[in-house]
Structure 1
Amino acid sequence: MSDVFEVRRGSSPVVLGFPHTGVDVPADIRERLNDNGLKLADTDWHLHRLYEGLLRNATIVRATFHRYVIDANRDPEGISLYPGQNTTTLVPLTDFDGQPIWKEGAEPTEADIIARRDAFHRPYHAALAAEVERVRAEHGVAVLYDCHSIRSLIPFLFEGRLPDFNIGTDGGVTCDAAIEAATVEASAAAEGYTHVLNGRFRGGWTTRHYGRPRDNVHAIQMELAQVNYLATETVPFAYDEARADQVRAPLKTILERIEQVAFGLKR
């Protein structure tokens, strides 16, 4: 096991990726963060806990480092996922509100970015790629379900309140239409929740990089509004058991539907 990622192997054709739940920041990097950066506000707080046990035998690959160290869901070459829109970079300079996270004069250099890419980004994705390939070899098909969450109100990134379930397939490119349809249908059937397909979040680098339906590798991103399982979307970002239990039910249904479709796609 690595010190930058965790892997739990399962026998399902579904792999769950968690690139943004880690909170580990090496001391030499932590000391360069300003007070705002030290809040680690843009974490996908407690998301791996929320998904725990929802899909029996799913493989789990989770980054343990924080996205301020380097963002495991950004193009390693630094190419923007959303050209022309506000977003954060491979190694973020600001938080999701557009506020600086580094002390003045301590911003990451190009050399820092290269070093972090080699030490964190590449090992995580090497592990993820290996598990996706292992699952495909076993089943003839693999589905990477990339797990994300974000505050429901972030004016710097999007207008208004974010829908509860934000499904991303990069316009249907990254997975079979049946997987997309099953996810949308299960989300739409979740009473009391809203959903959108390929809205503000249409799939990050992970989804776009791994999703190769012609090669029997499918990828889909779920960006969940944190209001659905946190007591508050501000410090201390506490987990709310009651809210979490409610949203776990539709998430479980979504994962089970995806797995069912995946077995039908076996070649």
Structure 2
Amino acid sequence: MPDVTSISSEISTNTACPAVIVADLKMPYRLVPPAGSRISQVVATSPHSGRHYPRGFLDQAVLGLDALRKVEDGGVDRLLPFQPLPTPLLMAEFPRSFVDVNRKGDELDARMFDGPVANINPTVTRYLRSGLGMIPRKAANQQDIYAETLPADEAEYRRQRFYQPYHDALQGLLTTAATQGPALLLDCHSMPSGLFGVDCDIVLGSNHGQSAEAWMVDEALDYFTREGLSVKLNSPFSGGYVTRHYGQPQQHISALQIEICRSLYLDEQRVELKPDWTAIAAILTRFIMRMDELTSRRQ
């Protein structure tokens, strides 16, 4: 195996997190396999750090690229693979403003489309009221993403081409992880530093104790606190659809959402990593390794 120290040194000099405009995104996600041959009970994910923007989406959107990027979990796709991990790592390649995999697949706003769309849940959720469905209508600061309605078939295209493959891959990884014992999904996000109600470094979401075993939550709280970070639990974020859907401890799969304050590692205006970004990257990767070790002991 290559020397990890030299790899990390080379990576740390590159602080860019540029958007990539593509004609067609052939693979909707990036899957980084575990560094070893052992099957881990932990799966790490980043659903909102994708920065490959389909040209067709940019043509449909009234907002420019800079405005669309405000809702990215910028740089999380750089933090997680900072060092080789013993766990699989799944990261969406497409942007959150295009498709949000942290919503139910039928959580769509019918008003966004120029005709009937199949498989829409008629329930108007709080996310839909805010314009934040599976295909978002709003970006940061409640800015409209589109000036006109979308073709009705766009909903099914995005669902089948981007949303469903991500969830199929995630389900497969968790099923494999659970063959070794109780599995744990670490769903990693970032939060804007100026967001109302955010006055800490890390927010852990356990769906108010329903999505993860208590010892896992306690260990996460203790770990980040020991690292000198301020931590809150379930406030203001308790976990989105991914945490609630996959986090079923009674079925031997737990899920924990991790929100990292962007000011710890990111120049939020330029969407570029700060010079000392590797400090939080190292803390995060050590945490994943720690949870991998602890879950393996509880087989």
Note if 1:187 corresponds to 2:200.
Answer: no
Structure 2: state its 5+ residue gaps.
Answer: 1-25, 108-122
TM-score by length of 2: 0.78
More helix by share: 2
User: Cα distance, 1:136 vs. partner?
Assistant: 1.5
Mark the CA change 1:27 to 1:56 in structure 2 (over 3 Å): closer, same or farther. closer
Structure 1 residue aligned with 2:238? 202
Within-5 A mapping of 1:90-105:
90-102=134-146, 104-105=147-148
Distance 1:160 1:61 in 2: 29
SS at match of 2:52: coil
Q: 1:8 aligns with which of 19, 26, 32?
A: 32
Q: Aligned residue for 1:257?
A: 290
Unaligned runs of 5+ residues in structure 1 are none
- Deviation at 1:175? 1.1
The DSSP-based 3-state class of the residue aligned with 1:221 is: strand
State the superposition RMSD in angstroms.
2.4
Q: Which residue of 2 aligns with 1:73?
A: 102
| Partner in structure 2 of residue 125 of structure 1 | 167
1:170-249 matches, within 5 Å, as 170-191=207-228, 193-230=229-266, 232-234=267-269, 236-242=270-276, 244-249=277-282
**1:146 and 2:170 correspond:** no
Flag the 1:162–1:113 CA change in 2: closer, same or farther, 3 A: farther
Larger Rg: 2
Q: Distance in 2 between matches of 1:182 and 1:245?
A: 22
Aligned mates of 1:211, 1:161 — CA distance in 2: 24
The 8 Å contact of residues 226 and 233 in structure 1, kept in 2 or not, is answered as: yes
Displacement of 1:55 in angstroms is 6.3
Indicate which of 47, 65, 73 corresponds to 1:44: 73
Q: Is the 8 A contact 2:82 2:282 kept in 1?
A: no
Aligned residue-pair number: 255
Q: CA deviation at 1:168?
A: 0.6
Aligned to 1:167: 204
In 2, distance between residues paired with 1:256 and 1:198? Answer: 23
Do the aligned residues in 1 keep the contact of 2:79 with 2:284 (CA within 8 Å)?
no
By how many angstroms is 1:259 displaced?
2.0
- Secondary structure of the 1:92 match is coil
SS in 1 for 2:91: strand
Q: Partners in 2 of 1:178 and 1:82 — Cα distance?
A: 31
1:63 aligns to 2:92 (yes or no): yes
Quote the residue 2:132 is aligned against: 88
8 A Cα contact 1:37 1:100, kept in partner: no
Provide the rounded CA distance (Å) in 2 between the counterparts of 1:211 and 1:194. 24
Q: Which amino acid aligns with 1:91?
A: I
Deviation string for 1:28-78 (max 9, x for gaps)?
222011234554221111212112245631101111111122101111121
Which 4+ residue blocks in structure 1 deviate beyond 6 angstroms? none
Distance 2:33 2:73 in 1: 22
Secondary structure of 2:254's partner?
strand
Q: TM-score, normalised by structure 1?
A: 0.86
| Contact preservation (8 Å) 1:152, 1:161 | yes
Q: Which amino acid aligns with 1:118?
A: Q
- What is the CA distance between 1:109 and its match in structure 2? 5.2
User: 1:249: how far off?
Assistant: 3.8
Please tell me the residue identity of whatever aligns with 1:222.
I
Q: Tell me the secondary structure at the aligned position of residue 97 of structure 1.
A: helix
